[in-house]
Amino acid sequence: MMKIICWLDEHIEKVFLVFFSVIMVAVIFLQVVMRQLDHSLSWSEELARYCFIWLIYIGISFGVKEQKHVKIDALLVFLNKKGQALLHFIANLFFMAFALYVLIFGYELANQLLQFGQKSPANQIPMGFVYMATPFGMGLTLIRLVQNQIKLIRTFMDKSEVTHSNRETISENKERRITS
């Protein structure tokens, strides 16, 4: 059981992101090929767009996990380590408020659409499923943000451990950035 949770914690977003990316590339490429054979598809573009929406909102959760969201961090240079952690903690609270808002209201919208029974034009997918992308993605994001907050609180509790793990993530980030 613990093993499953650990695996999910490490991989859940990656699995979804790869899944949706592969579908998007495959169906649009298929459409290009099929049009050459004079058998254009009526459903490929729509399916790709809906995968795209899911990809974005799950990607946001992954962005939180990997700490890759774009922010203006010029102010950070004026703060010491503890101040930076505090500011980070506050910023996360705002992010959490946003995620919670989308979780509640996005779910409500998706649910309403499911009740109206509205279907997509080409694939007859219930539009509610498309709209579920935001509450689902923001639910995951909320979990990731809580994980981050716990890490930050530990930072306050135990100094030495934190600087160590911080250094680790920074060098890891740099490595990825240079190779990418």
Partner 1 sequence: GGGEKNASTEQGESENDSDVIKIKVGHISPDDQAYAIGFKEYAEAVEEATDGKVQFEIFGNGALGGERELLEGVQLGTLDMSLITTGVVTNFVPEVAVIEFPFLFRDLDHTYKTLDGEIGQELLDKMSESNLKGIAFWENGERYVANSQRPVKAVEDLKGLKMRTIESELLLDMYSALGTNATPMAFPEVYNGLQQGVIDGSDFSTGVYYTTKVYEQSKHFSEVPLYYASATLVINQELFDSMPEDVQKVIVDLGKEYAAKQRQINQDLMEEYKQNLVADGVEIIPAEEIDIDGFRQAVESVYEKHADSYGDYIERIQNVE
Partner 2 sequence: MTTAILFGSFAALLVLTVPIGIALALATLITIAFSGTMPLQFLAKELVTSVDSFPLLAVPFFILAGEIMGKGGISKRLFGVASAMVGNKTGGLAIATIITCMFFAAISGSGPATVAAIGGVMIPFMVQEGYDRGFATATVAAAGSIGIIIPPSIPMVMFGVTASASVGDLFLSGIIPGVLIGLAMMFWAWYYSKKMGYKGLAEKTSLKKIVQAIWDAKWALLIPIIILGGIYGGIFTPTEAAVVAVVYGLFAAMVLYRELSFKDLPKVIYQSALTTATVLIIVGAANAFGRLLTIEQIPNKIANWLMTISSNPTVIILLIMVLLLFVGMVMDPIAAIIILTPILLPVVTQVGYDPIHFGVLMIINLAIGYFTPPVGVNLFVGSSISGVPMGQLSKAALPYIGTMIIILLLVTFLPQIALLFV
Q: What is the DSSP string of 49-110?
A: HHHHHHHHHHHHHHHHHTT------GGGGGS-HHHHHHHHHHHHHHHHHHHHHIIIIIHHHH
Q: Which two tokens stand for residue 23?
A: 């579908």
31 binding partner 2? (CB under 8 A): yes
Residue 59 interaction partner, one of partner 2, partner 1, none, beta carbon < 5-8 Å per kind:
partner 2
| Closer Cβ to partner 1, 58 or 127, answer by number | 127
Asked if 62 is part of the footprint of partner 2 (rule: CB under 8 A), the reply reads: yes
* Structure-token match 């509790």, residue found: 157
How far is the CA of 162 from the CAs of 11, 29, 117, in angstroms?
24, 46, 50
From 28, 114, 122, 125, residue interacting with partner 1 (rule: CB under 8 A): 122
Measured CA distances, 2 to 9, 61, 139, 140, 141 (Å):
10, 21, 21, 18, 21
- Residue 180 found at the interface with partner 2 (CB under 8 A): yes
Task: Compute the distance between CA of residue 30 and CA of residue 39 in angstroms, rounded to an integer.
Answer: 10
Applying CB under 8 A, does 116 fall inside the site for partner 1?
Answer: yes
Helices (H) and strands (E) in the chain — how many of each? 7, 0
Number of amino acids touching partner 1 (CB under 8 A): 19
List binders of partner 2 among 68-97 (CB under 8 A): 68-76, 87-88, 90-91, 94-95, 97
Q: Is 152 in the site for partner 2 (CB under 8 A)?
A: no
User: In the set 87, 96, 109, 152, which binds partner 1 (CB under 8 A)?
Assistant: 109
Instruction: Give the one entry of partner 2, partner 1, none that residue 116 binds, where binding means its C-beta sits below a cut-off of 5 to 8 angstroms depending on kind.
Output: partner 1
Decide whether 71 or 161 has the Cβ nearer to partner 2.
71
Q: Identify which of residues 14 and 49 has a Cβ nearer to partner 1 in the complex.
A: 49
Residues of this chain that bind partner 1 (CB under 8 A): 35, 38, 40-43, 45-46, 109, 112-113, 116-122, 127
